[in-house]
Amino acid sequence: MRSRPGLLSILLALLLLGGCVQLPMPFEPGSSPSPSPPSLVRPPPARIVVPPPSSAGLTEDRAKQFAEALAAALQELEIPATAAGIQNPRYSLLVNGAAEAGQVRLTYSLAGPDGKPIAQAGGPRAVPAGAWAGASRDTLKTTATEAAPAIARMLATVDARQREATTEQLAERLPSAGVVPITGAPGDGARSLDRAIRNALGREGVVVADPGAPAEFSVAGQVVVAPVARGQERVEITWVVSRADGLELGRVAQLNEIPRGSLNGFWGDVAVIVADQAAQGVAEVIARYRNGE
C-alpha cells in the first residue's frame, strides 16, 4: 500500500463533555512533512498465519492456493496475515470443510499459540462439492474474499475479549459500539474509513457490533470538504459518539488542509491513520462517560 506523507499530517482536537484532550499526532502542527512512519512503509509483523487446510476437501496444491488467497483477503482488510510458515504467530487460521447434500460448508477457526481453537466463524455460503475439489484460482479467491469480513470480526472480538481477560481491574464488560454509515467522504473514503474505524476500535478495546445489532454506544462519522485558497481544500472529519438512546456524549474532530482533489480516489493509508487516532478519541469519550466524568 502506498503512503502519501503530505496527506497524513492530521490536526486533532477532541471535544468531549465540555473538556479537551490532546491526542498523539503523526506530525507536529506546523512542521514540514517528514518521511512516513516505518509502519506505513513496511508491513507490520504478521499476526495470523494461514496454513494450507488439510480438511477442507482440497488437493494439496489448491489448499496452498486457498491459504494464500485467505491471507491476501485479510491483508486487504488491514489485517497482517501470511500463508508463509513463521515462528510464534499470535494466531493461526484453521479451515475445515463439511460436505452435505452435494455442497461444502467451510468453517474458519482462530487458534492461539497452543494450537487450540478459541473462536469460530462460518463461511457466508456453501460451495458446490463437485466444483470445490478442483476449484479454480478465481473460485478460491472469491471464496476467501467473501469469508474475510467474518474472520475480521471474529479477530476483533477475540482481541477485545483477551484485552478484557488480561485486565484484572476491569470491573465491567467491554463497551460495544455500532458504526453508523459514514457520510460526505469523497472517493472511496466511506468504505475505507468504515473498515479502518472498525478495526481501530477493536484494538482500543471497543467491541464493534454487527450492523443492526444492539450496542451500548454508536459512532457516526461525517466528512466535510470545502475549497480554500491556493488550490487547497479543507477536510474536516467529525466522529459523534452517542449512547444507544441517541444522547450525544462527545465528538472527535480532525481537521487538515490538503491539495484540492487529493482524496477523490483511494484513501489508502490516510484512512488507517485517521481511524487509528479517531478511535483513541472515541475510546476516551466512552471511558469518561463510564467513569462518570
Assigned C-alpha cell, 215: 450496542
pTM, 2 dp: 0.49
Please count the residues of the chain: 293
Q: What is the per-residue pLDDT for 163? A: 65
- Residue 56, pLDDT > 90, answer no
User: Do 184 and 286 reside in the same domain of the chain?
Assistant: yes
State the average pLDDT for the chain. 79
- The answer to whether the beta carbons of residues 285 and 241 sit under 8 Å apart is yes
Residues 6 or more apart in contact with residue 123 via CB below 8 angstroms: 105, 106, 107, 108, 143, 146, 147, 150
Q: Which residue has the higher pLDDT, 32 or 223?
A: 223
User: Do 130 and 199 reside in the same domain of the chain?
Assistant: no
User: Do 204 and 244 reside in the same domain of the chain?
Assistant: yes
User: Do 79 and 161 reside in the same domain of the chain?
Assistant: yes
Mean pLDDT value across residues 15-41:
34
* Percent with pLDDT over 90 in the chain: 34
Q: What is the per-residue pLDDT for 275? A: 93
- The answer to whether the beta carbons of residues 49 and 67 sit under 8 Å apart is no
What domain range is 220 assigned to? 5-42+173-290
Most confident of 42-56, 141-155, 187-201: 187-201
**238 dihedral zone (left: phi>0; alpha: psi -120 to 50; beta):** beta
Using pLDDT thresholds of 50, 70 and 90, give the confidence band for residue 19.
very low
Domain boundary among 140, 166, 192: 166
Domain boundary among 166, 196, 217: 166
Assigned C-alpha cell, 45: 509483523
- Residue 32, pLDDT > 90, answer no
36-52 pLDDT, tens digit per residue, is: 333 323 334 457 899 99
Mean pLDDT value across residues 86-92:
79
User: Do 177 and 129 reside in the same domain of the chain?
Assistant: no
Helix spans in 116-188 (H): 129-132, 137-166
Q: What is the per-residue pLDDT for 204? A: 92
User: Do 38 and 52 reside in the same domain of the chain?
Assistant: no
How many independent structural domains does the chain possess? 2
- Residue 201, pLDDT > 70, answer yes
User: Do 144 and 192 reside in the same domain of the chain?
Assistant: no
Residues 6 or more apart in contact with residue 9 via CB below 8 angstroms: 25, 26, 27, 29, 31, 33, 256
Using pLDDT thresholds of 50, 70 and 90, give the confidence band for residue 5.
very low
- Residue 17, pLDDT > 90, answer no
Domain boundary among 117, 135, 166: 166
User: Do 161 and 236 reside in the same domain of the chain?
Assistant: no
Number of Cβ within 10 Å of residue 81's Cβ equals 26
User: Do 36 and 58 reside in the same domain of the chain?
Assistant: no
User: Do 145 and 182 reside in the same domain of the chain?
Assistant: no
Amino acid identity, position 269? D
Assigned C-alpha cell, 48: 495470523
226-267 pLDDT, tens digit per residue, is: 999 999 999 999 999 999 989 999 999 998 888 998 899 999
User: Do 149 and 259 reside in the same domain of the chain?
Assistant: no
- Residue 214, pLDDT > 50, answer yes
User: Do 132 and 197 reside in the same domain of the chain?
Assistant: no
What CATH number does the domain containing 177 carry? 3.30.160
